[in-house]
Amino acid sequence: MAVEAPQQPEQAAGGSVEQGAAAGGGRLKKGPWTPDEDQLLVEHVRRHGEGSWNAVRRETGLLRCGKSCRLRWANHLRPNLKRGPFSPEEERLILRLHALIGNKWARISAHLPGRTDNEIKNYWNTRLKRRKRAGLALYPPDVEREVALVRAGKLRPIVDADGNASSLQAPLLLDAAADQFAWPAAPPFHPAFNNVAPPQPFQFTGNISHNPQALLAAQVPYLHHDEVSAGLGHANKLYADALGMPPLVPPSAQELPSNQSPADAGGPLEMLVLEQDQRLPGAALLRVTSMPELVYNENDYSAWPSGLSGGSGSRSEGDVTSHYGGKCDCFFDGVKPAKGMPASLAVAEEEVSGLFGGEELVAVWPDKPPESITKDDFNLQMMEMQHLMPPVPLPADEHGLN
DNA sequence: AATAGACACAACCGCGAAATA
DNA sequence: TTATTTCGCGGTTGTGTCTAT
């Protein structure tokens, strides 16, 4: 274990200088790097290659510890670093990888060429903070579902448990042996299911492997509304409710905001969540928005709909996903909540309110907006729900499910 | 214009694993 | 085999910028 130099900071131009007792007794500089320091480091690496970071100071006179040199090189000076904000594709990949392997920044960054672990970590921490404050789930619902399917063995993970790529370049594919979706098993001891038969596994009609469109649908947790309802009896309806599936939308509420047509459900917000090849033509799709495994694996039923939940449950710092993810967690990171409400948002709020019955919305859909969430955040959530719930023409008898 | 809060980014720190003496 | 050094990772903090109030 290296013994860090005792630190007695003193101010110097461009950063503090500290006593370095460990290696040579020189004074170590801290704080921002200067162009001259960068030049020294770059020159050293050009001559000797990466590594031997503690030798940098000996050989160049640079008053930086080896650790600082390594960090500066890795995060700022090495070639092929990509600059600028993350693309939607990169953001989505980060979400997927993080959902699978957690805070393994170095492993995650290995899958994003030109991006550093520090960069990704900063991105994630900012995102985490924002979503916690807004009371939102950590992952978009489809990512949660993707991870749950991976855990259930229905999807090949994009990385293995160690974060090594398995099929990064290819889109997620259903396991060839698992040619159907099954509803995740309900928690066996949940009171909501005491007297309800477990739902039958849901199956797509037809062989999904030979149906490109169904295969695409399988990659993203979209289920055709008709297929969902056809596969669900009363018990399954309860189960679907418990999963957090949104209520069916009456035909009378099919209008979309003026900037969105039914044939184009993929606006900028949608683009942040869905990869291009995962969006399906047409609008008659319904997203299953909850990953119950992620809920009951944590022994936290607070995310279950009120009335089904056995109790309010206590929430801890890490409960955001399990608490709120099951109902309305579709608030995307690329969209910064505006403090003021743009006119388009106000319109969206009205329209979404109309879809769900105005004030009842709060009682019916999300249990309630968390206290920490701002009105604008909540409005954005509602607008996102519209994206996720494009209008579906339904037979009249299906409206009774509401 | 001043202020506060949010955010992005850079850098530091502690720790543990791997490598080396 | 043990002690020491080096390296890398993840968590945390500090700072500058932007935006809303």
Q: Mind giving me the DSSP string for A5-71?
A: PP---EEETTEEEEE--SSTTPEEE-SSPPHHHHHHHHHHHHHH-S--HHHHHHHH---S-HHHHHH
What is the per-residue pLDDT for A173?
28
What is the per-residue pLDDT for A26?
57
CA dist A107 and A130 (Å) reads 24
Q: Across residues A128-156, what is the average pLDDT?
A: 78
Which residues, 6+ apart, have CB-to-CB distance to A57 below 8 Å? A23, A24, A26, A63, A64, A65, A66, A69
Reported as a single tens digit per residue, the pLDDT across A68-81 is 898 889 888 888 88
Q: What is the pTM of this model?
A: 0.49
Q: Which residues pair with A239 in a beta bridge?
A: none
What is the per-residue pLDDT for A63?
87
A88 pLDDT more than 80: yes
Q: Across residues A165-173, what is the average pLDDT?
A: 37
Reported as a single tens digit per residue, the pLDDT across A215-228 is 233 332 222 222 22
Which of A79-88, A157-166, A200-209, A376-385 is predicted most confidently?
Answer: A79-88
Q: Across residues A317-335, what is the average pLDDT?
A: 31
Fold of A86-150: Arc Repressor Mutant, subunit A (1.10.10)
The residue whose CA lies nearest the C1' of nucleotide C4 is: A1
A106 pLDDT more than 50: yes
Strand C nucleotides in reach of protein CB atoms, 7 A cut-off: 4-13, 19-21
Residues with CB under 7 A from strand B: A 1-2, 4, 7, 15, 29-33, 64, 67-68, 71-72, 75-76, 85, 118-119, 121-123, 126-127, 129-130, 133, 336-337
What is the per-residue pLDDT for A339?
32
List chain A domain ranges. Answer: 33-75, 86-150
Structure tokens at A214: 């169904």
What is the per-residue pLDDT for A164?
53
What's at A21, amino acid-wise? A
Question: Mean of the per-residue pLDDT values for chain A?
Answer: 48
* Per-residue pLDDT band at A30 (split at 50, 70, 90): confident
A180 pLDDT more than 50: no
CATH code for the domain defined by A33-75: 1.10.10
